[in-house]
Structure 1
Amino acid sequence: MHSKVQLFLVFLLLPLVGCNSESSSSSPEANENGETKLYTDVTGRDVEIPVEPTKVVTTQFLDALLALDITPIGAPSHVLDNEYLGDLQEGVADLGHPYSMEKIIELKPDLIITSDPDEVEQLMKIAPTVVVPWMYGDVFAQFKEIASILGKEQQAEQWIASLDNLAANVQEDVATKISEDDTVSIFMTFGKDVLRIYGGRNIGHIIYRSLDLTPPTYIKNRLEQDPTFEEFVFDQISMEMLPEYAGDHIIMLVYDQEARDEGGMFHQVEESTLWQNLEAVQNEQVYYIDPDPWFSYSPIAIEKSLEQASKLFSN
């Protein structure tokens, strides 16, 4: 009689055990080995995250993750909208723009890396979330922080060293085309009324830091006041300021077709006497670029831009 009761209890408990096991395996926080670590992100938050995450979602840092040989399972449309990453981003789910919380939930990530502290509260409901603010340090500070989150510090250091070697080689080549005394300005036109001059982030990192080209006095002074490259991204200027900010060489990004059309900002600039009288224009030392990859402030984008730099200044 006693043995029959025990057997009955075993069969009664079996469905419950199976149910609990299924719930655990489908948990967004679950990962292969189950090990976690307490991580303090740069905003001061303590987050328990997987030691070896296998399903990472990022709202911004796709490029950096790929440079560390980690393919995230999802990223927003604006991050995926590029050509320079090519097949590297194959298999990354498009989360939309703005990204869809429902899509993230469907992917069941075990780690989320975001650039916006305001997103954390919602994202933490899905999976452990670490913040690396977009204006935290420069591109390498962000890269090292992401590597630290993922336990890939040594790989990041090796990657940066390799990029420095590439930059040194390209710098030698560019030096045969642009002398140390020549100044270089970076402008961008957008829509009907946007004209910007750029500092030490985005393309400025490549031109003024990787290639060590000389900025005009205004840019040089601004960069000296911003040694961590966290503040001076660009200034919006009027067309009347072109003669003051133009260097011996000008890099120009025409961001959209509207800027080229009649009445657009680049059309206005190009038709102006101010532009036509610039020495760089008269000497045919204006170089036109596309946003991709020059304006993607991330490790692989910088690598691709450096590979294009020698050809750019040859043209």
Structure 2
Amino acid sequence: MKVRIKGLGILLLIAGLLLAACSGGATEETDAGGTAVAGTEVTTGAEGAVNVADETKVVHDQFGEVTIPAHPQNLVVLNSIYAEYLIEMGITPQIVLYTPEVEAEYRPAYFKEHGVQIIEIEQYQMNYEQLLALSPDMLLTAGEGMEQSVYDELSKIAPTVALDSNSEMTRAMPKLAAIFDKSEKATSILTEFDEKAKQAREKIAAALGNKTVLVLRVEHDRYRFMGPKGGNSSIFFYNTLGLNSPEAIKDSTVWFNPFSLEFLPEMSPDYIFLEDRTLKGYDTKQSMENLKQSKLWKNLEAVKNDHVFPLKTSEFTSGVGPIGSVKLMDYVVEKLVP
């Protein structure tokens, strides 16, 4: 009798093992965001933890469909603004590319605090060999304005998501959130930011009324003004904060427009945020001196009233996001509201 029970137990054990093997085969499921997840064989360790490193999903980007890891283990973000968006949503990338000359001052400590490795790069340069050496299992960058050839080269290194967006928060963050199933968190962050922006906008409107604000960029061989309908950071200054642009440029749809100093009296702003363009190997000293020595500049009401405020390139080009944009917002309010 004991022999028969023992034999039956062995048969049941074998049957159980066979059933487990069958159930561990390839499957296709749907994640919480509705994206198809191709599950390769799922294994468990001694403590029963599921290995999801091989799971993938298909997402859409600027260039079509791309299959990416559902849970990337070495995510390299080519855009530091995107890295901030991800971290604030609870997704920490392993590596971020970083251009020291144009990065906001708070970012290095911010990334270090969250355990993100910083790889310094030159602005406007794409070093494919450097990226390959990082052994990423996924690359993430802004796709708007990217050439197909660049995307193709990046895709040879690792699955690449070139988001069909620029870096502007209200556009990029929801798209990033959809990829990483963080839409609820993104909505919460944007709602909180909108409330802060509303308060700042109301303070500025009460203080300035119809007075106008110009964002002026000084470059090494020319001057440019920010068009209020130019997208990018134009949205932040003229939409989010509700600043009034000079009447002469109110319909400009170019982000930064070249102009001669003779145009200054026609713009005649009440307030000026003056950017001394920062770029590696870039020298703006002569242009800045020529501007400040110009009688046309000296005769502006904004200059006479000491209503000219410095603006760092990094503060509104790369230093944006849930943290950086609030810092910039506070700075603008500090300068414009008594």
Q: 1:198 aligns with which of 206, 215, 226?
A: 226
Shift of 1:95: 5.2
What residue is the counterpart of 2:44 in the other structure?
none
What residue is the counterpart of 2:66 in the other structure?
47
What residue is the counterpart of 2:161 in the other structure?
130
TM-score, normalised by the number of residues in structure 2:
0.72
Gaps of 5+ in 1: 1-30, 224-231
Q: Is the counterpart of residue 312 in structure 1 residue 332 in structure 2?
A: no
Shift of 1:52: 2.7
Q: Is the counterpart of residue 64 in structure 1 residue 85 in structure 2?
A: yes
Gaps of 5+ in 2: 1-50
Q: 1:252 aligns with which of 249, 268, 274?
A: 274
TM-score, normalised by the number of residues in structure 1:
0.76
Letter in 1 for 2:56: T
Q: Which secondary structure does the structure 2 equivalent of 1:93 belong to?
A: strand
What residue is the counterpart of 1:15 in the other structure?
none
What residue is the counterpart of 2:119 in the other structure?
94
Letter in 2 for 1:78: T
Note if contact 1:51-1:151 (Cα within 8 Å) is conserved in structure 2: no
Q: Is the counterpart of residue 153 in structure 1 residue 201 in structure 2?
A: no
Q: Which secondary structure does the structure 1 equivalent of 2:217 belong to?
A: strand
Shift of 1:99: 4.5
How do 1:78-89 and structure 2 match up within 5 A? 78=99, 81-89=103-111
Q: Which secondary structure does the structure 2 equivalent of 1:175 belong to?
A: helix
Between stretches 68-77 and 277-286, larger displacement belongs to 68-77
Shift of 1:94: 0.3
Deviations 1:167-204 (A, max 9, x none): 1122233234322x11111101022x221101244543
Query: Within 1, Cα distance between the matches of 2:111 and 2:259?
Result: 36
Shift of 1:214: 1.1
How do 1:210-249 and structure 2 match up within 5 A? 210-223=240-253, 232-249=254-271
Query: Within 1, Cα distance between the matches of 2:132 and 2:208?
Result: 51
Q: 1:77 aligns with which of 87, 98, 106?
A: 98
CA RMSD, aligned part only?
2.7
Larger Rg: 2
Shift of 1:120: 1.8
Distance 1:110 1:218, change over 3 A: farther
Deviations 1:199-236 (A, max 9, x none): 2445433221111111122432125xxxxxxxx21111
What residue is the counterpart of 1:3 in the other structure?
none
Q: 1:173 aligns with which of 203, 214, 217?
A: 203
What residue is the counterpart of 1:112 in the other structure?
139
Letter in 2 for 1:215: S
